[in-house]
Amino acid sequence: MAVPSFDQSAPPSWHGTTIVAVRKAGQVVVAGDGQVSLGQTVIKANARKVRRIGGGNVLAGFAGATADAFTLLERLEAKLERYPNHLEKACVELAKDWRTDRYLRRLEAMMVVADAKSLLVLTGNGDVLEPADGLVGIGSGGNYALAAARALADRDDMDAEAVARRALEIAADICVYTNRNVTLEKL
């Protein structure tokens, strides 16, 4: 029987981050886990991947390379200063820059941003997407958290925060790159 060969020279890849966003009953919550892994090693268990930006009126969660995500957060802050109270316009302008600028084009990250009116996903492909159901999941465990949030969102006994927290717990039970150290911001 042949033994599969693995490229030992390839550097291990960074994994980590599960971000979930929930809009329900006038609340919006963005929550993320705290794990950052390099290959099979947990490098950090309490990373803070969810932030308030735009004077505290915008919530942002990021997945991907941390330095890349911070660069994008800074750029989004600048766009929000240029287009105050217009999150969608600021995001579209950032996405255009991200897609066309030679430096930004190499950044490997995704972002979820929300304010009182909008919940959006931004990608390096130039996407600015608004989910139809008010639920988003990105990162290593994003699909697990999103599936859990969809299953829980209609429950009358759970507000947006409870749905987001439980969705991350479920993702942590499934995804080895997700832990239970949750950072959560809500509007």
71: annotated active-site residue: no
In the numeric block, the tokens 């308030």 are attached to 52
Q: Which of 17, 18, 178, 183 is catalytic?
A: 17
Strands 50-53 and 41-44: unpaired
Taking alpha carbons only, the member of 100, 99, 97, 76 closest to residue 88 is 76
Taking alpha carbons only, the member of 114, 166, 106, 172 closest to residue 139 is 172
Strands 183-186 and 27-32: antiparallel
Please enumerate in sequence order all residues whose Cβ is within 8 A of that of 170, keeping only pairs 6 or more positions apart, or say none.
144, 145, 148
Taking alpha carbons only, the member of 175, 167, 123, 115 closest to residue 146 is 167
Q: What is the CA radius of gyration of the chain?
A: 17
DSSP H helical segments within 29-135, as ranges? 66-82, 87-100
Catalytic residues: 17
